[in-house]
């Protein structure tokens, strides 16, 4: 084991002990210590879910990337494994960037990642070089392949950009290995390249899967490519986006491309929409569970919101709640994984609550819950103008979800959550017109809120850093409406 990896393992072992359990979310995975960004290597290996993550153990800011590692049997309870990789080779000395994992034919676990190093070119400019590398292991310890890097600039097709070339997502099909990887052309257009291999080590360029054509941002990071309910899906995270109505916003976004793959393996995109309409979600990755479900997890953070943090927190960055995904009416539908039900504590249910003005309901409060609120007009359509839920409320700090039934807009807002930074604190999303009816399912964990609207048709995620003692919840209507509320407290056994 390299000195760098050993040092990181020793450091995180000591540091982890200094973090009390209640300083972390109840279910959302945080780094063992320090910083995390993208989920990596989300896979099933020997009957367990493995989730690696972009990791800088030594501070709560981005640094030279390691791969942190955790395993789970049910996606709800994660157990840390020792840091899997450190940037300890010349070709990855600037960091082991994002990648994925797959089981090899001989039962080992292959990690495929982007090795980044900095080199001074002949013109005197120091540039970042990104190549694809592999490491193989037993689920705990990994050895980098002596033949690394396995894909370099030399393997790029004509017209590809030499510098932005990263985030390989690997899968196995008909006994062969395939990889989708992000690239940016010299004229700043994102594209996804596909490579193929017989053994996971020796790769050849296959084709350009798809090009952005200068539509959605510039570089396309962290691709994932899979079949879902009879269609072919590409997920990617574009950088430097421009806004489009309420569908896409400025900065780093997420994009779901729904399309088809023809018999020759050519992909054509048909529908394009955001994956998550909230503030904090990026770089999602999926896994095919053994029972056939496609499960997605993302970084519940965004590069543009990293300044939203608390100095007293010993970690930075958390993963989203794992979501089962499907297609319905040309949209990606997301639901919290059903395993959540095994962690329900007490339940409070109220039906046909008539709401006008603001109210609290007995027994409905807390910061860790799975709560579904169904709202409908009382009497005639147009009986109310705004419906709102206030949560993480202590009288002074609070966050809100607001629904405007005339415009069909849901807004999430954490402006009053205690943040002292001028960052994005609100976001709006256009939802289906159901004549004033809406279903809002909130997953609250200690430091986050994920909102699943109308059975997962739209999802809005945001980090909420208000102290956990702020546990008030209230409902508000201008006008009159009826609502049903079902709240399950979330608990650890
Ligand atoms: C996306 C990303 C990836 C890269 C990694 C570096 O969030 O920028 O493209 O591999 O983070 O940490």
Task: Put residue 6 in one of left, alpha, beta given phi > 0 → left and psi -120 to 50 → alpha.
Answer: alpha
What whole-number distance in Å separates Cα of residue 65 and Cα of residue 399?
33
For the beta sheet containing 95-103, the strands, ordered from the edge strand earlier in sequence to the opposite edge, are 95-103, 109-120, 126-137, 142-144
Contact at 8 Å (CB) between 300 and 25? no
Residue (of 414, 397, 351, 444) closest to 26 by Cα position: 444
CA of residue 117 to ligand 1 center, whole Å? 14
What whole-number distance in Å separates Cα of residue 247 and Cα of residue 282?
15
Domain count, the chain: 2
CA of residue 281 to ligand 1 center, whole Å? 13
Three-class DSSP category at 486: strand
Q: Closest Cα to atom 8, ligand 1: which residue? A: 221
CA of residue 54 to ligand 1 center, whole Å? 8
Residues 253 and 199 reside in one and the same domain = yes
Closest ligand 1 atom to Cα of 99: 10
User: Which residues have CB under 6 Å of ligand 1?
Assistant: 37-38, 54, 65, 97-98, 114, 166-167, 221-222, 282-283
Residues 324 and 414 reside in one and the same domain = no
Kindly report the number of other CB atoms within 10 A of residue 421's CB atom.
Answer: 10
**Is beta strand 126-137 parallel, antiparallel or unpaired with respect to 384-393?**
unpaired
For the record, the structure tokens of 204 come out as 């050849």
Length of the chain: 493
CA of residue 98 to ligand 1 center, whole Å? 6
Q: Of 305, 320, 336, which residue is a domain's last?
A: 336
Which residues does 414 contact at the CB level (< 8 Å), separation at least 6? 279, 399, 425, 426, 462, 463, 464
| Per-residue burial over 435-473, b = 16 or more CB atoms within 10 Å of its CB, e = otherwise | ebbbbbbbbbbbbbbbbbbbebbbbbbbbbbbbbebbbb
What whole-number distance in Å separates Cα of residue 400 and Cα of residue 37?
26
Q: What is the pLDDT along the chain (493 residues), one digit of tens a residue?
A: 999 999 999 999 999 999 999 999 999 999 999 999 999 999 999 999 999 999 999 999 999 999 999 999 999 999 999 999 999 999 999 999 999 999 999 999 999 999 999 999 999 999 999 999 999 999 999 999 999 999 999 999 999 999 999 999 999 999 999 999 999 999 999 999 999 999 999 999 999 999 999 999 999 999 999 999 999 999 999 999 999 999 999 999 999 999 999 999 999 999 999 999 999 999 999 999 999 999 999 999 999 999 999 999 999 999 999 999 999 999 999 999 999 999 999 999 999 999 999 999 999 999 999 999 999 999 999 999 999 999 999 999 999 999 999 999 999 999 999 999 999 999 999 999 999 999 999 999 999 999 999 999 999 999 999 999 999 999 999 999 999 999 999 999 7
Residues 40 and 68 reside in one and the same domain = yes
Enclosing H/E stretch for 10? helix 3-17
For the beta sheet containing 78-85, the strands, ordered from the edge strand earlier in sequence to the opposite edge, are 78-85, 66-72, 48-56, 34-45, 315-316
Residue whose CB lies within 8 A of the most ligand 1 atoms, among 41, 54, 302, for a mutation test:
54
User: How would you class 158 by CB atoms within 10 Å of its CB: exposed for 0-12, middle for 13-18, buried for 19 or more?
Assistant: exposed
Q: Of 304, 336, 368, which residue is a domain's last?
A: 336
Closest ligand 1 atom to Cα of 282: 7
In sequence order, the β-bridge partners of residue 114 are: 97, 132
pLDDT at 138: 98
Residues 86 and 183 reside in one and the same domain = yes
Sign (positive or negative) of CA dihedral 263, 267, 272, 277: positive
CA of residue 23 to ligand 1 center, whole Å? 26
Phi, psi of 22 (to 5 degrees): -75, -5
Phi, psi of 154 (to 5 degrees): -65, -20
pLDDT at 493: 75
What whole-number distance in Å separates Cα of residue 347 and Cα of residue 60?
36
For the beta sheet containing 190-197, the strands, ordered from the edge strand earlier in sequence to the opposite edge, are 165-173, 176-184, 190-197, 203-211
Three-class DSSP category at 341: helix
Closest ligand 1 atom to Cα of 221: 9
Residues 321 and 461 reside in one and the same domain = no
Residue matched to tokens 């994102």? 190
Residue tagged active-site, from 38, 164, 224, 370: 38
Residues 376 and 400 reside in one and the same domain = yes
Residue whose CB lies within 8 A of the most ligand 1 atoms, among 114, 281, 283, for a mutation test:
283
Residue whose CB lies within 8 A of the most ligand 1 atoms, among 128, 169, 222, 298, for a mutation test:
222
pLDDT at 111: 98
Residues 34 and 133 reside in one and the same domain = yes
CA of residue 38 to ligand 1 center, whole Å? 7
Three-class DSSP category at 101: strand
Which residues does 288 contact at the CB level (< 8 Å), separation at least 6? 44, 226, 294, 295
CATH of the domain at 298: 2.115.10.20
Give DSSP secondary structure letters for 366-378. -SSEEEEEEEEES
CATH of the domain at 445: 2.60.120.560
Residues 198 and 239 reside in one and the same domain = yes
Kindly report the number of other CB atoms within 10 A of residue 305's CB atom.
Answer: 20
Instruction: Please give the distance of CA 262 from its chain centroid, rounded to a whole number.
Output: 29
Residue whose CB lies within 8 A of the most ligand 1 atoms, among 35, 36, 38, for a mutation test:
38
Closest ligand 1 atom to Cα of 38: 7
Which residues does 384 contact at the CB level (< 8 Å), separation at least 6? 377, 378, 405, 436, 477, 478, 479, 480, 481
Three-class DSSP category at 246: coil
Residues 357 and 480 reside in one and the same domain = yes
Using alpha carbons only, what angle is made at residue 53 by residues 52 and 54, rounded to the nearest 5 degrees?
A: 140
Q: Of 277, 310, 336, which residue is a domain's last?
A: 336
pLDDT at 343: 98
For the record, the structure tokens of 129 come out as 């070089």
Residues 285 and 426 reside in one and the same domain = no
Residues 380 and 248 reside in one and the same domain = no
For the record, the structure tokens of 57 come out as 């153990």
For the record, the structure tokens of 198 come out as 């017989």
Kindly report the number of other CB atoms within 10 A of residue 176's CB atom.
Answer: 12
pLDDT at 204: 98
CA of residue 68 to ligand 1 center, whole Å? 14
The boundaries of the domain holding residue 404 are: 343-490
What whole-number distance in Å separates Cα of residue 112 and Cα of residue 41?
8
Residues 312 and 331 reside in one and the same domain = yes
| Active site (annotated) includes residue 276 | no
């Amino acid at each position: 084991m390299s000195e760098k990896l050993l040092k990181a393992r020793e450091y995180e072992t000591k540091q982890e002990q200094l973090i009390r359990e209640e300083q972390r979310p109840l279910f959302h995975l945080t780094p063992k210590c320090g910083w995390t960004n993208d989920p990596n290597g989300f896979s099933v290996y020997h009957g367990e879910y493995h989730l690696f993550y972009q990791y800088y153990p030594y501070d709560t800011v981005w640094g030279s990337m390691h791969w942190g590692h955790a395993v789970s049997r049910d996606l709800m309870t994660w157990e840390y494994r020792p840091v899997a990789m450190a940037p300890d080779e010349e070709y990855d000395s600037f960091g082991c960037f994002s990648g994925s994992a797959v089981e090899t034919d001989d039962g080992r676990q292959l990690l495929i990642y982007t090795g980044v190093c900095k080199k001074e070119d002949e013109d005197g400019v120091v540039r970042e070089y990104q190549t694809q590398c592999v490491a193989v292991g037993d689920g705990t310890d990994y050895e980098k392949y002596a033949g690394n890097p396995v894909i370099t600039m030399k393997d790029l097709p004509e017209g590809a950009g030499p510098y932005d070339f990263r985030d390989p997502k690997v899968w196995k099909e008909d006994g062969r290995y395939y990889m989708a990887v992000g690239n940016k052309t010299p004229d700043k257009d994102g594209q996804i390249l596909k490579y193929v291999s017989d053994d996971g080590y020796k790769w050849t360029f296959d084709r350009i899967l798809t090009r952005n054509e200068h539509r959605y941002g510039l570089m396309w990071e962290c691709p994932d490519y899979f079949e879902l309910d009879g269609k072919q899906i590409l997920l990617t995270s574009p950088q430097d986006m421009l806004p489009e109505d309420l569908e896409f916003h400025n900065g780093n976004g997420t994009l779901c491309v729904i399309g088809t793959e023809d018999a020759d393996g050519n992909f054509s995109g048909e529908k394009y929409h955001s994956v998550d309409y909230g503030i904090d979600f990026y770089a999602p990755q999926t896994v095919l569970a053994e029972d056939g479900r496609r499960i997605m997890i993302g970084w519940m953070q965004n590069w543009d919101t990293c300044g939203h943090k608390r100095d007293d927190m010993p970690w930075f960055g958390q993963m989203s709640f794992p979501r089962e995904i499907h297609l319905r009416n040309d949209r990606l539908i997301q639901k919290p994984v059903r395993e959540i039900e095994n962690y329900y504590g007490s339940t409070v249910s109220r039906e046909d609550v008539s709401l006008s003005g603001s109210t609290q309901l007995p027994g409905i409060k807390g910061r860790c819950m799975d709560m579904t609120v169904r709202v409908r007009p009382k009497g005639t359509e147009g009986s109310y103008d705004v419906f709102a839920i206030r949560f993480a409320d202590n009288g002074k700090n609070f966050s809100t979800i607001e629904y405007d039934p005339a415009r069909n807009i849901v807004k999430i807002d954490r402006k009053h959550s205690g943040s002292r930074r001028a960052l994005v604190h609100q976001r709006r999303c256009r939802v289906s017109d159901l004549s004033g009816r809406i279903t809002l399912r909130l997953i609250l964990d200690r430091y986050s809120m994920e909102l699943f609207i109308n059975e997962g048709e739209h999802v809005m995620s945001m980090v909420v850093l208000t102290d956990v003692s702020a546990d008030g919840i209230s409902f508000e209507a201008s006008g009159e409406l009826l609502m049903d509320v079902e709240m399950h407290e979330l608990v650890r056994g």
